[in-house]
């Protein structure tokens, strides 16, 4: 049994712990420059009431009230105190303080419940109407139970003024009535159970990596500990032959502090980011789905494996080594932009992916509103960083693996890029620093060869059973490949290059299949043929995957790209039209700013130009037409799997190579090409396209053939 001084010491320690956690939560708000929500307001009110309760407890301790024992916590017990105490005015003061302290304590419990409801209401997406109704019903019950608490413990004895009487026969102190304790405990436990059961209805609708599940387990274990404190306190009150009030206060403080910690738990991860020297801008980007490096927490991916921890640790150390002397104005602008596009209601939200099909199946009709549920349950940040991202990390040439990480510039962290206006959109980097020194190998590729890009969740997740390998299945979106000619594929700079697309795969509405679905089915492999007419020389091969699960809001699309160093041999003399990065994409392009959940997608526009094709070459092309005619080409694709002749050095298992067999379907429309009627264009030169103003006639023996809306070329007649 605690002594009064021990109880007060314990209460002060628990209060300081709660104060530290709440201050940490608000410090994170200030650090991230995000607005306060209802959770923050209610938890701050909790702390203010907690402080008042602490002050009253200390005053009662100084008045030696804790030395008095109340038998059976009953009305008679207090009456006995009144009969046996000579200084009744002093005792009356202590009883008034006790009344107010009890009122404050139990009000704190209900304010914490309100903070939980505010948190849950924000985390549950609008289209999960059943869960939203559950939250509404629970919230109403919490309010009604608090009213019941007031009625039971304030008004059940009649006029409140009677509680100040020192007449033993008139005294009526409602907190001392066993029936009141039973009612209060019933209300208290029922609301606690409802609050901590709700998340188990949420979890079936989201997919969490192992680390985040562990983090959630810890969070709700603390919640169960809070309920245990309630039960223990009630048992002491109702079963003890005698009862000391300071013991009750100690249990109350434990319950309050546990509740505060659970609500504020997400902030702990952001504190770790700050302590490890992470910049605020990086943290905010992590918050919005970029490497949290995590967080994002934490962001938080499969931190469950030891190899993942080692990889993430290296990434964090690399981040910590980055100079923090970036331009402050630029940082502030980025922060403001992020805040404008992603309002924040809770300190930490974590990117998790919804099993959309299960959500739709749970309802008789399509959801009336589909919002990307891309950030949720910040408590997972307690453990580490869990995200379901991906990295292009190996090249296969004509079915032969070139080696893991050979000739490919990769980052240690698998986070996305979200801003298409930065240089990071070229070959990654920036927030996901590329490993240096860059590879010293340039991969030789025969002209027209079959190229396979291999993707995996992390640099060491292949063949590990990682459920998010090669990428989480919820990360629906297109996959593309670009080439850029360079003087040397070993050069460090990737800016200012001219890129042309050689492959793309988006969405097939007939089968409701995305390119990412095929990638997952093929265990991270995507195969295409290079045009055989592009010139020989060194190139950067840019593999790109765009995840659209959060693309319904600005900066919500996630871009994953890496660049491989290749050398094409035996090439032709074509001059493909090019685009620049940044510049090829706009943040509001229809293929980048899109809600892929609702209304159901019936068509999808892949960002960027269409792939370059060689007239009469080995890849699908349109039929030749005059310069004033354009055509649109669509492909029906099937896959044939064969065993490659070599395997990855790091694995004993062979990997399949997917050969794309395409069926061509061409529809023709008429389009006027602006150009001059004088002069002729030489062999293989441009003779048409949007924005083209030159001659449209080709030299003798050649004709103008349409390649895409932006480029027509003189080819042999």
Report how far residue 376's alpha carbon sits from residue 435's, in angstroms, rounded to the nearest whole number.
Answer: 30
Write the pLDDT tens digit of every residue in 44-59.
898 899 898 888 888 8
In terms of residue numbers, what domain contains 334?
A: 269-322+329-382
Whether residues 490 and 536 fall in one domain: yes
- Write down the pLDDT at residue 496: 93
Asked if residue 224 belongs to a domain, the reply is yes
Domain count, the chain: 4
- Write down the pLDDT at residue 184: 63
Whether residues 367 and 240 fall in one domain: no
C-alpha dihedral (421, 426, 429, 431), degrees to nearest 10: 20
Beta strand extents in 440-557 (DSSP E only): 443-446, 450-456, 479-485, 499-505, 507-508, 513-514, 525-529, 537-547
Report how far residue 262's alpha carbon sits from residue 21's, in angstroms, rounded to the nearest whole number.
Answer: 10
Residue 410 burial (CB count, 10 A): 23
Q: Which of 560, 578, 608 is the last residue of a domain?
A: 608
Whether residues 476 and 399 fall in one domain: yes
- Write down the pLDDT at residue 409: 96
Coil, helix or strand for 503? strand
Which parts of 63-177 fold into alpha helices (H)?
75-84, 88-123, 129-150
- Helix, strand, coil share (%) of the chain residues, nearest 5: 40, 20, 40
Asked if residue 396 belongs to a domain, the reply is yes
Residue 252 burial (CB count, 10 A): 24
Whether residues 476 and 373 fall in one domain: no
Asked if residue 494 belongs to a domain, the reply is yes
Whether residues 95 and 12 fall in one domain: yes
Task: Specify whether the CB–CB gap between 591 and 606 falls below 8 A.
Answer: yes
- Write down the pLDDT at residue 258: 81
Q: Are strands 443-446 and 558-569 parallel, antiparallel or unpaired?
A: parallel
Asked if residue 308 belongs to a domain, the reply is yes
| pTM for the whole structure | 0.42
Q: Which of 339, 362, 382 is the last residue of a domain?
A: 382
Report how far residue 387's alpha carbon sits from residue 376's, in angstroms, rounded to the nearest whole number.
Answer: 12
Number of H helices, E strands in the chain: 15, 21
Whether residues 132 and 117 fall in one domain: yes
Closest CA to 201 of 121, 125, 141, 131: 131
Whether residues 513 and 365 fall in one domain: no
Task: Specify whether the CB–CB gap between 63 and 96 falls below 8 A.
Answer: no
Report how far residue 691's alpha carbon sits from residue 678's, in angstroms, rounded to the nearest whole number.
Answer: 17
Q: Which pairs from 257-260 meet CB under 8 Å and 24+ separation?
A: 257/14, 257/15, 257/17, 257/18, 258/222, 258/223, 258/225, 258/226, 258/229, 259/46, 259/109, 259/112, 259/223, 259/226, 260/18, 260/21, 260/22, 260/43, 260/46, 260/47, 260/50, 260/112
Phi-psi category of residue 490: left, alpha or beta, with phi > 0 → left and psi -120 to 50 → alpha: alpha
Whether residues 96 and 199 fall in one domain: yes
Where the chain has pLDDT below 50, the residues are 71-75, 158-162, 174-178, 206-207, 278-386, 620-674
Whether residues 100 and 194 fall in one domain: yes
The enclosing domain of 441 has a CATH number of 2.70.50.70
- Residue identified by tokens 């991202």 is 389
**Which residues are 475's β-sheet partners?**
none
Whether residues 20 and 143 fall in one domain: yes
- Token readout for 478 is 């297109």
The full DSSP string for 58-79 is: HHHHHTTGGG-EEETTSHHHHH
Longest dimension (CA), the chain: 123
Closest CA to 287 of 357, 353, 344: 344
Whether residues 249 and 159 fall in one domain: yes
- Within 8 A by CB and 6+ apart from 552, the residues are 370, 371, 372, 593, 594, 595, 596, 597
Asked if residue 619 belongs to a domain, the reply is no
Task: Specify whether the CB–CB gap between 185 and 230 falls below 8 A.
Answer: yes
Asked if residue 459 belongs to a domain, the reply is yes
Residue 635 exposure: Cα atoms within 13 Å on the Cβ side = 17
- Within 8 A by CB and 6+ apart from 645, the residues are 399, 400
Which parts of 160-292 fold into alpha helices (H)?
178-202, 210-239, 245-264, 267-275, 280-287
Report how far residue 299's alpha carbon sits from residue 534's, in angstroms, rounded to the nearest whole number.
Answer: 42
Asked if residue 176 belongs to a domain, the reply is yes
Asked if residue 637 belongs to a domain, the reply is no
Whether residues 524 and 562 fall in one domain: yes
Q: Which of 251, 267, 283 is the last residue of a domain?
A: 267
């Amino acid at each position: 049994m605690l002594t009064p001084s021990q109880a007060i010491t314990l209460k002060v320690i628990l209060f300081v712990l709660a104060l530290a956690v709440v201050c940490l939560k608000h410090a994170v708000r200030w650090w991230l420059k995000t607005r306060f929500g209802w959770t923050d307001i209610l938890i701050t009110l909790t702390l203010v009431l907690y402080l008042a309760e602490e002050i009253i407890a200390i005053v009662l301790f100084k008045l030696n009230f804790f030395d008095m024992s109340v038998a059976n916590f009953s009305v008679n017990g207090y009456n006995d105190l009144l009969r046996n105490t000579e200084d009744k005015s002093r005792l009356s003061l202590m009883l008034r303080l006790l009344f107010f302290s009890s009122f404050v304590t139990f009000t704190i419990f209900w304010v914490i419940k309100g903070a939980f409801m505010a948190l849950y209401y924000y985390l549950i997406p609008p289209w999960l109407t059943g869960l939203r109704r559950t939250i509404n019903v629970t919230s109403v019950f919490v309010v009604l139970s608090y009213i019941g608490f007031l009625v039971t413990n304030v008004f059940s004895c009649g006029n409140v003024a009677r509680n100040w009487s020192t007449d033993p026969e008139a005294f009526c102190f409602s907190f001392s009535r066993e029936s009141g304790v039973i009612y209060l405990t019933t209300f208290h436990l029922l609301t606690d159970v409802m609050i901590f059961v709700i998340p188990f209805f949420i979890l079936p609708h989201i997919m969490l990596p192992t680390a985040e599940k562990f983090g959630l387990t810890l969070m709700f274990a603390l919640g169960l500990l809070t309920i245990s404190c309630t039960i223990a306190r009630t048992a002491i009150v109702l079963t003890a032959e005698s009862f000391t009030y300071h013991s009750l206060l100690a249990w109350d403080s434990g319950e309050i502090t546990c509740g505060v910690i659970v609500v504020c738990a997400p902030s702990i991860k952001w504190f770790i980011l700050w302590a490890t020297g992470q910049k605020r801008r990086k943290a905010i980007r992590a918050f919005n789905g970029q490497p949290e490096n995590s967080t994002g927490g934490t962001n938080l991916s499969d931190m469950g494996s030891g190899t993942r921890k080692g990889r993430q640790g290296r990434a964090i150390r690399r981040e910590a080594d980055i100079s923090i002397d970036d331009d402050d104005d630029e940082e502030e602008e980025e922060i403001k932009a992020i805040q404008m596009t992603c309002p924040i209601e809770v300190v930490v939200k974590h990117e998790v992916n919804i099993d959309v099909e299960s959500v739709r199946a749970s309802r008789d009709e399509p959801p009336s509103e589909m919002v990307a549920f891309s950030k949720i349950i910040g408590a997972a940040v307690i453990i580490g960083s869990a995200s379901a991202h991906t990295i292009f990390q190996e090249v296969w040439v004509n079915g032969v693996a070139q080696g893991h990480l050979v000739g490919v510039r990769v980052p240690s962290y698998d986070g996305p890029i979200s801003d298409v206006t930065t240089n990071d959109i070229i070959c990654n980097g920036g927030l996901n620093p590329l490993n240096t020194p860059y590879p010293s190998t340039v991969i030789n590729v025969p002209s027209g060869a079959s190229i396979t890009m291999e993707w995996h969740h992390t640099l060491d997740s292949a063949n590990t059973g990682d459920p998010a390998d090669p990428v989480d299945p919820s990360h629906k979106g297109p996959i593309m490949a670009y080439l850029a000619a360079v003087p040397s594929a070993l050069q460090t700079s990737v800016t200012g290059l001219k890129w042309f697309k050689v492959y793309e795969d988006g969405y097939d509405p007939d089968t409701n299949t995305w390119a990412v679905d095929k990638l997952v089915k093929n265990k991270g492999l995507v195969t295409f043929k290079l045009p055989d007419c592009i010139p020989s020389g060194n190139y950067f091969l840019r593999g790109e995957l765009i995840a659209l699960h959060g693309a319904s809001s600005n900066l919500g699309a996630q871009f994953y790209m890496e660049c491989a160093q290749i050398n094409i041999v035996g090439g032709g003399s074509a001059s493909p039209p090019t685009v620049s990065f940044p510049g090829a994409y706009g943040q509001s392009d229809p293929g980048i700013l899109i809600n892929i959940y609702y209304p159901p997608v019936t068509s999808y526009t892949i960002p960027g130009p269409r792939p370059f094709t060689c007239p009469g070459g080995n890849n699908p092309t349109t039929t030749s037409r005059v310069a004033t005619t354009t055509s649109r080409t669509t492909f029906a694709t099937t896959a044939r799997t064969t065993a490659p002749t070599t395997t990855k050095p790091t694995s004993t298992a062979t990997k399949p190579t997917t050969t794309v067999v395409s069926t061509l379907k061409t529809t023709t429309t008429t389009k006027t090409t602006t150009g001059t009627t004088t002069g002729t264009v030489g062999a293989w030169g441009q003779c048409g396209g949007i924005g083209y103003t030159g001659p449209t006639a080709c030299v003798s023996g050649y004709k103008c053939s349409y390649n895409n809306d932006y480029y027509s070329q003189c080819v042999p007649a």
